[in-house]
Amino acid sequence: MKKLIILLIVLSISFSLTAAAPQNGGTLIVGLDDDPPMLDPHMSTTRVDRQVFMSLYDSLLKLDPELNIKPGLAEDWEISEDGTKYIFYLRDNVVFHDGTDFDAEAVKFNFERMLDPELGSPRKSDLDLIEEIEVVDEYTISLKLSKAYVPFLSTLTDRAGMMISPAALEKYGENFPSHPVGTGPFKFVEREMQDRIVLEKNENYWQEGLPYLDKVIYKPFTDGNVRLVNLTSGELDLIDEVPPKDIEKLAEDDSIKVSTVSGLGFQGIWINKAVEPFSSDALTQALNYSINRDAIVNVVFGEAAFPAHSPFPPGTSVHDESREVVQVNTEKAKELLKEAGKADGYEFNMLVSPEPTAKQTAQLIQSMASQVRIKVNIELLEFGTLIDRLMATNYQAVLVGWSGRVDPDGNTYRFFHSEGSMNQSNYSNPEVDKLLDAARIESDPAKRKELYGKVVEYLDKELPYIFVYHPKELKAHKNRVNGFTPYPDGLMRLHEVWVD
């Protein structure tokens, strides 16, 4: 009996060691929902870019799966008592992919680049409270803010904290996005637009023993069905944006694992408040009351989404459980049309990505709006072109969302503050500006929630954005893929992933 117990223990230990030991080498092929438009983190505005950034670039700070802030390129930091001075102590064993050193001068260069008004970086509003940048020594940098800014650390876990090589930017200039250079676990090899992005292992990565993979290849598939077929056939190892209708089918496939976590983002309709018909709040509200959010979620997404009433999904710090989702009300919509002098309705163009769930959502909105004599003309555009039109405010309405941020400031300020770097709805309300400014310096969680609640009340009335649903984060991968951990932000970290 004693020998049997010893044998079982040995077998158990042997199995555990075998199961847990990562293997070096191999290639991971990742299916993305679109072709990343911009591989410069300081100029990027799309979530799909960030999927690749997680492999190419490191940020000063990073998140763990529970969204706690952890050391990144900065291994430690100090914050002054008044919350206006930050000192970051940088790692001294980091080099960029081009062999140049990562140090405090490089960090200073990156911040100054993002803050340069001539560049027009979407990151500027994340960092515009910085009024002084001081290189204390080779691996210490001090930042002085004009006032306290509670979300600052969380901001540095994302694109505003991602460091690019100053030498590479000087070498490539405007062509830097075609030759991206960071400090991440993988380095850029080549890109074929609309076909693939190839990265290879960074042999000089600062995290000893990582990454495990030799190569990562990202391939875009705007059609979720095609993406899924390529996963089940083995052409892909891991996919982003699993088609909601296929979750049950995938769960029955023993060769595939599916992960589902609540997300941080929102989806809906950007409204250009500077053009007709949406310069009228009443006409915008008429469209809002025609949309049946519950039906859209049930038909298109099932258990993979929640109906939305604000920028803040369930489970996030300022989500208000007491608020109710706007219910469809065709009579109210018709009354508003009549009051605005458009009793016979109106029509507008809505830009939509050709991705199947986006098209299906747009078609449902089109049908619902027609019930109150609002004609929605759907204009299908390749995703990068759609984003270009949005950023140029060359649109009436755009069906597109936001992947979300850990701090509620990241889901609001850049979009709804008059000076927000991504205020593509041309929305301006001095009271909303005051509330968003106040929330940035308020450290009491209850008071912050109250401030954001008041912001949502204004957004409800003026509708620079019509919130439709909050997607959950869905990923699927073959069983040969090990070490993959899903995050609520939906971004795929691959540095600890290995393949059998």
Q: Is the pLDDT of residue 17 over 90?
A: no
Helix axis angle for 281-290 and 330-339, nearest 10°, is 160
Each residue of 237-246: pLDDT tens digit?
999 988 888 8
- pLDDT confidence of residue 247: 86
Which amino acid is residue 360, in one-letter code? Q
Each residue of 316-341: pLDDT tens digit?
999 999 999 999 999 999 999 999 99
Residues contacting 112, CB < 8 A, separation 6+: 133
Backbone phi, then psi, for 199, in 5-degree steps?
A: -120, 150
Give me the DSSP letters along 199-260: EEE-TT-SSTT----SEEEEEE-SSHHHHHHHHHHTS-SEEES--GGGHHHHHT-TTEEEEE
Q: Is the pLDDT of residue 3 over 80?
A: no
Q: Say how many C-beta atoms besides its own lie within 10 A of residue 391's C-beta.
A: 14
Would you state the structure tokens that stand for residue 425, as one six-digit string?
A: 């709805």
As a whole number of angstroms, the distance between CA 256 and CA 264 comes to 25
- pLDDT confidence of residue 455: 98
- pLDDT confidence of residue 12: 38
Among candidates 399, 378, 368, which has minimal Cα distance to 467?
A: 399
Each residue of 90-142: pLDDT tens digit?
999 999 999 999 999 999 999 999 999 999 999 998 898 999 999 999 999 99
Q: Is the pLDDT of residue 310 over 70?
A: yes
- pLDDT confidence of residue 165: 98
Each residue of 417-464: pLDDT tens digit?
999 988 999 999 999 999 999 999 998 999 999 999 999 999 999 999
- pLDDT confidence of residue 14: 38
Would you state the structure tokens that stand for residue 28, as one six-digit string?
A: 């991971």
Q: SS3 of 428, please?
A: coil
Each residue of 148-200: pLDDT tens digit?
999 999 999 999 999 999 999 999 999 999 999 999 999 999 999 999 999 99
Each residue of 233-278: pLDDT tens digit?
999 999 998 888 888 888 889 999 999 898 999 999 999 999 999 9
- pLDDT confidence of residue 20: 63
Place of tokens 């911040």: 111
Q: Is the pLDDT of residue 1 over 80?
A: no
Q: Is the pLDDT of residue 15 over 80?
A: no
In whole angstroms, how far apart are CA 59 and each of 79, 138, 426?
A: 18, 18, 31
Residues contacting 441, CB < 8 A, separation 6+: 83, 147, 148, 149, 150
As a whole number of angstroms, the distance between CA 44 and CA 42 comes to 6
As a whole number of angstroms, the distance between CA 283 and CA 275 comes to 12
Q: SS3 of 66, please?
A: coil
Q: Is the pLDDT of residue 282 over 90?
A: yes
Percent of the chain with pLDDT over 90: 86
As a whole number of angstroms, the distance between CA 144 and CA 374 comes to 51
Each residue of 368-408: pLDDT tens digit?
999 999 999 999 999 989 999 999 999 999 999 998 999 99
Q: What's the CA angle centered on 236, arms 232 and 239, to 5 degrees?
A: 90
As a whole number of angstroms, the distance between CA 378 and CA 253 comes to 36
Contact 295, 285 (CB under 8 A): no
In whole angstroms, how far apart are CA 241 and each of 223, 380, 410?
A: 10, 19, 22
Q: Is the pLDDT of residue 19 over 70?
A: no
What residues does 186 pair with on adjacent strands? 201
Peptide bond before 211: cis, by omega within 30 degrees of 0? Answer: yes
- pLDDT confidence of residue 121: 94
Would you state the structure tokens that stand for residue 103, as one six-digit string?
A: 């140090």
- pLDDT confidence of residue 248: 82
Place of tokens 């001294």: 92
Q: Is the pLDDT of residue 86 over 50?
A: yes
Task: Please say whether the dihedral angle defined by the alpha carbons of residues 168, 169, 173 and 176, taken in this order, is positive or negative.
Answer: positive
Q: SS3 of 274, please?
A: coil
Q: Say how many C-beta atoms besides its own lie within 10 A of residue 125's C-beta.
A: 21
Percent of the chain with pLDDT over 70: 96
- pLDDT confidence of residue 223: 87
